[in-house]
């Protein structure tokens, strides 16, 4: 570390530029990760907040719970306290001139989902004409006791509460009564709901129904998998680019001081010491750059408008930071190999 620290201290501009580039890459990766996480959360927040593990729905719905409709005959009875019948309908929430796309989720009284959902304001609905809206709708101007209409129903609902993490497939959720669902969906009362959500594993013997795990349900959501894979590829490419940049920088820096390193080797300084210093230098550069990148990302998170769906998950950020430091070490492999092969004879005579 002795050589590493002194070199960075002496060559502030050179190493400042290297660190600046890595900081910007780290910042970009953190922002993209936060965006990916935030956008994914807009699809999954509600289902995740329910602690559900599997869902049962119509096979014809192609895995899309909001498109699933089960008749009263098809809808299995709820067999445990960990299961809820749900009715989903995507439609327009109207309040005067205000209009907002939303997903209506109809629930029975005393459902598990109700118990798992945290309210940020108001209370849970007590009858078929009340709604609990996503807190995102609160930020968009919806208020308690406001009269609204939802989907194809002519019923006027009253907003009685706002719930945290109530987002499903990129739209805010309006929790209501399962009895109100047919009207909101625009189907007759022969239909009982969209399916069953369970905190455990579901099974079915009915060929017209299918059971999906939570992960399968998310991946079947329109655009969800494509969006996540796009972000994943962008992040993966950035990580690969960061490896290449670190490798190129360290290669150039090592080549520039090759003769000097050869002199040190001639004087008996072991190559292991010089390699160790290069490794320490890489870790130092990466930790400082990624650390500053993390700080910058956190500051960005504080000032970014709430409408931007960014979610800074400390665990994900720490994991990404560790991956970036490890990529730096991978990038240092070529320079370390060069140092290991330095021939001290090359600097003597000519």
Partner 1 sequence: MQRLELKNVNKVFGSGTNRVQALSQVNFEAKAGELTLILGPSGSGKSTLLTILGGLQQPTSGEVLINGNRFDGKRGKAADDFRLKHIGFVLQSYSLVPYLTVAEQFQLVDKVKKAGNLPPKQFDNDLNRLGITSLLDKYPGELSGGQSQRVAIARALYANPDFILADEPTAALDSARVQEVGRLLKDIAEKEEKAVVVVTHDLRLKEEADRIYQLVDGKISLEKS
Chain residues binding partner 1 by CB under 8 A are 2-3, 6-7, 9-11, 257, 259-260, 262-271, 273, 344-345, 347-350
Give one DSSP letter per residue of 107-158, joined into a string: E-TT-HHHHHPPEEEE----STTEEEEEHHHHHTT--TT-EEEETT----EE
Q: How far is the CB of 282 from partner 1 (least distance, A)?
A: 16
Q: What is the dihedral of CA 7, 12, 18, 19, to 10 degrees?
A: 100
**Which CB sits closer to partner 1, 141 or 270?**
270
Beta bridge partners of 174: 104, 133
- Classify the C-alpha dihedral 60-65-67-71 as positive or negative: positive
Q: How far is the CB of 319 from partner 1 (least distance, A)?
A: 34
**Which CB sits closer to partner 1, 60 or 259?**
259
- Classify the C-alpha dihedral 166-236-234-324 as positive or negative: positive
**Which CB sits closer to partner 1, 11 or 190?**
11
Q: Counting Cβ atoms within 10 Å, is residue 226 exposed (0-12), middle (13-18) or buried (19+)?
A: exposed
**Which CB sits closer to partner 1, 82 or 257?**
257
Q: How far is the CB of 247 from partner 1 (least distance, A)?
A: 22
**Which CB sits closer to partner 1, 268 or 305?**
268
Q: How far is the CB of 332 from partner 1 (least distance, A)?
A: 18
Q: How far is the CB of 312 from partner 1 (least distance, A)?
A: 37
**Which CB sits closer to partner 1, 268 or 314?**
268
Helix-then-strand count for the chain, H and E = 11, 13
Angle, alpha carbons 38-40-44 (nearest 5°): 115
Phi, psi of 93 (to 5 degrees): -95, 125
The token pair at 156 is: 């006027």
Q: How far is the CB of 17 from partner 1 (least distance, A)?
A: 16
The rounded Cα 198 to chain-centroid distance in angstroms is: 23
**Which CB sits closer to partner 1, 7 or 74?**
7
Q: How far is the CB of 271 from partner 1 (least distance, A)?
A: 8
């Amino acid at each position: 570390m002795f050589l590493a620290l002194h070199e960075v201290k002496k060559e502030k501009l050179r190493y400042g530029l290297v660190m600046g580039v890595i900081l910007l890459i780290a910042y970009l990766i953190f922002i993209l990760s936060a965006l990916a996480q935030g956008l994914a959360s807009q699809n999954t927040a509600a289902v995740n907040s329910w602690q559900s593990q599997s869902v049962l729905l119509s096979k014809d719905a192609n895995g899309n719970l909001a498109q699933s409709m089960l008749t009263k005959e098809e809808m299995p009875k709820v067999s445990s306290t960990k299961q809820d019948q749900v009715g989903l309908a995507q439609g327009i929430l109207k309040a005067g001139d205000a209009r907002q796309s939303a997903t209506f989720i109809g629930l029975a009284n005393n459902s598990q989902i109700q118990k798992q959902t945290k309210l940020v304001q108001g209370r849970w609905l007590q009858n078929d004409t009340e709604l609990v809206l996503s807190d995102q709708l609160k930020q968009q101007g919806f208020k308690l006791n406001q009269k609204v209409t939802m989907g194809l129903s002519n019923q006027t609902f009253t907003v009685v509460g706002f719930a945290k993490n109530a987002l499903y497939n990129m739209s805010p959720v309006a929790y209501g009564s399962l009895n109100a669902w047919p009207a909101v969906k625009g189907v007759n009362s022969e239909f009982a709901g969209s399916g069953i959500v369970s905190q455990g594993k579901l099974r079915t013997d009915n060929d017209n129904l299918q059971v999906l795990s939570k992960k399968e349900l998310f991946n079947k959501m329109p655009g969800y998998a494509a969006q996540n894979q796009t972000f994943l590829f962008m992040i993966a490419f950035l990580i690969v680019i960061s490896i290449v940049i670190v490798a190129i920088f360290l290669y150039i820096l090592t080549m520039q001081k090759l003769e000097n390193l050869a002199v040190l080797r001639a004087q008996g300084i072991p190559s292991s010491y010089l390699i160790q210093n290069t490794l320490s230098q890489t870790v130092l550069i990466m930790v400082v750059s990624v650390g500053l990148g993390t700080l910058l990302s956190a500051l960005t998170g504080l000032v970014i408008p709430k409408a931007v769906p960014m979610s800074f998950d400390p665990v994900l950020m720490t994991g990404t930071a560790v991956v970036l430091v490890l990529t730096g070490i991978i990038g240092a492999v070529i320079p370390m190999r060069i140092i290991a092969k330095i021939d001290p004879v090359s600097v003597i005579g000519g």
